[in-house]
Amino acid sequence: MAEVIKRKIQTGNYQTFINEGGDKKSSETIIFLHGSGPGVSAESNWKEILPRFQVKFHVVAPDIYGFANTDHPEEYPRNGAEWMKIRVKQVLSLMDALEVEKAHLVGNSLGGVIALHLLMYAPERFDRVVLMGAGGGLKEPTPELAKLANFHKDPDPVAFKNLLSWFLYDKSIVGDKLEEIVSERLELFLRPDVRRSYEENFSKSHLSDMLVPPSALKQMENEMLLIHGHQDRFVPIESSLYVMDYLPNAQLHIFKRCGHWAQVEQKERFVKLTLDFFNGEI
């Protein structure tokens, strides 16, 4: 199996770091959009998943603007709406640079919100969409999400381990890997450019910047698969129920014994379900 390639590609006036695999010439493209936790990257979010999809699909997982190894702003957006607009344009510029006219989307948490905004901004560029623990209907932050948003104020290693463990319903699922994940992500987060972007993002953004209006959701004709962990404490299941009330062509699958990381705690079921969806079998 070919390896996932990591490289930078020009998107507007900055470079986006991507993880890419599969055959672009003969395969449909799936773009994977990660979430917003401290130290997050496309690799940390999707490295166990991409090899399973690249057998049949061309897969692209970018570091979203303001995170990880994508170039960081020299002048920061003034609010959450500006951050969102830039990220929407980042994905579209990336597709143009890769000569991908139309793609499927998989969005986790913040990535799911970006996916919905992409459908508002350029619906003709996208086909099937998977939203996993997406915050498109989140109106109030949970205590866990509030801790995540304020982590930059005191990035203590013990607090970080606690925070990441809360993403999981059962942290024994990852076993000793939790220490490795904590170490890798904390090292990335403590880079001055990464930490500053995180602080700028969360100190100036509000959930209202990301909420997707029902009038917009009702116009999204795409086939959509919503996946949510029943015990998700960062984006409660009510967020998916909210968008389900309005999306005309959506189905919702709920995993018991699962928190915010369905691709980790329910990996095999997540892979099978999403592959079946993109293959048009469900």
- Mean pLDDT, residues 254-260 taken together: 96
pLDDT, one tens digit per residue, over 24-67 is 888 899 999 999 999 999 999 999 999 999 999 999 999 999 99
152 is catalytic: no
Angstrom distance (rounded) from CA 266 to CA 258: 7
Do the bridges between strand 58-62 and strand 14-21 make them parallel or antiparallel, or are there none, so unpaired? antiparallel
- List 34, 104, 152, 260, catalytic entry: 260
More confident residue, 176 or 5: 5
Distances in Å between the alpha carbon of 63 and those of 46, 118, 119, 240? 11, 16, 20, 24
CB count within 10 Å of CB 48 equals: 13
Of 140, 134, 146, which Cα lies nearest the Cα of 232?
134
If one counts the domains in the chain, the total is 1
| Lateral strand order in the sheet of 250-255 | 5-11, 14-21, 58-62, 29-33, 103-108, 126-132, 224-229, 250-255
Tokens of 19: 């993880």
The dihedrals phi and psi of 115, each to the nearest 5 degrees, come to: -60, -45
Averaged confidence pLDDT in the chain: 95
- Mean pLDDT, residues 66-70 taken together: 98
How would residue 12 be classed by pLDDT, with cut points 50, 70 and 90? very high
pLDDT at 80: 95
Per residue, the 3-state secondary structure of 182-219, as one string, reads: HHHHHHHHCCHHHHHHHHHHHHHCCHHHCCCCHHHHCC
Q: What is the domain-level CATH number for residue 162?
A: 3.40.50.1820
Per residue, the 3-state secondary structure of the chain, as one string, reads: CCCCEEEEEEECCEEEEEEEECCCCCCCEEEEECCCCCCCCHHHHHCCCHHHHCCCCEEEEECCCCCCCCCCCCCCCCCHHHHHHHHHHHHHHHHHHCCCCCEEEEEECHHHHHHHHHHHHCHHHEEEEEEECCCCCCCCCCHHHHHHHCHHHCCCHHHHHHHHHCCCCCHHHCCCHHHHHHHHHHHHHCCHHHHHHHHHHHHHCCHHHCCCCHHHHCCCCCCEEEEEECCCCCCCCHHHHHHHCCCCCEEEEEECCCCCCHHHHCHHHHHHHHHHHHCCCC
Residue whose pair of structure tokens reads 């993880």 in the numeric block = 19
**What is the span of the domain harbouring residue 116?**
5-278
pLDDT, one tens digit per residue, over 215-252 is 999 999 999 999 999 999 999 999 999 999 999 999 99
How would residue 131 be classed by pLDDT, with cut points 50, 70 and 90? very high
- Mean pLDDT, residues 136-165 taken together: 92
Angstrom distance (rounded) from CA 124 to CA 136: 20
Kindly tell me if the per-residue pLDDT of 2 is higher than 80: no
Do the bridges between strand 14-21 and strand 5-11 make them parallel or antiparallel, or are there none, so unpaired? antiparallel
pLDDT, one tens digit per residue, over 270-282 is 999 999 999 998 8
Of 237, 47, 212, 60, which Cα lies nearest the Cα of 142?
237
